[in-house]
Amino acid sequence: MAGAILAFRQENTVSSAIPIPTEQGYSPPAVRQFAVFLDNKVGKLLELLKLFEDDSMVNVAALSVMDSSDHAVVRMIFSNADAARHLLRKNNYTFSELDLIVVQIGQGQSLTKLCLHLLGAELNIRFVYPVLMRAASEPCVALAVDDTYLAGQILLRKRFTLLGEEDLS
C-alpha cells in the first residue's frame, strides 16, 4: 500500500515486522513472483535456470512448474526481483509479475492453522508452493491470496513470521 510505513527488527536475518501505528496503517512484507512462460520442450527449464545460476546478483529462492502439452508456466521468486526482471527482459522471456506473501511455519504453527486463519477472513488461497531459500531453519511457503495486505495483517496477528525479499538472499 502506498504511503504505509514498515519497520523491521533483524533477528537472525529474518524480518519480524513491528507495526507502527499511522493513519494509513501497516503494510506487511511481500515478495515479487515472476510467472515465466516457456515452450514445453526438452531443456527449456534448464536454459532458464542456468540464466540465474550464471549471475551473482540473483538467486532462485522458490520455484513451481505447471506444464501442459504445449507450454509451461514457471513460477519463480528471486533474491533480487529487479535483477531478475532485467535478466528476463534481456533474454526475451515472456513473463508476468505478482506480489505474494512468504510465510515461515514456526514451532506450534502449521499449514492447517494458516489456512484456518485465512478462511476465517474469507480469503481465498489461489496457489501455494514451498520456498527453497530461507533465512531460518523453519519451512516457508509462498502464498498467492485474494488480498495480500489483509492476509499479511491476519498472519502477523496470529504470530506467523512474514519474509521479505531481503530475507531470501
Tell me the domains of the chain and their CATH numbers: 8-30+102-168 (3.30.70), 32-98 (3.30.2130.10)
Q: Which residues pair with 96 in a beta bridge?
A: 35
Say if residues 71 and 37 touch (Cβ distance below 8 Å): yes
Say if residues 75 and 99 touch (Cβ distance below 8 Å): no
Query: What SS3 class is residue 76?
Result: strand
pLDDT tens, per residue, the chain with 169 residues: 333 333 333 333 344 444 444 444 667 898 999 999 999 889 999 999 999 998 888 999 999 999 888 899 999 999 999 999 999 999 999 999 999 999 999 889 999 999 999 999 999 999 999 999 765 678 999 999 999 999 999 999 999 999 999 888 7
- Indicate if the alpha-carbon torsion angle 109, 25, 125, 86 is positive or negative: negative
Closest among 87, 92, 62, 86 to 74, alpha carbons compared:
62
Query: Grid cell 510465510 — which residue?
Result: 103
Q: What is the pLDDT of residue 12?
A: 34
pTM: 0.80
Q: List CB contacts of 12: < 8 A, sequence separation 6 or more.
A: 135, 136
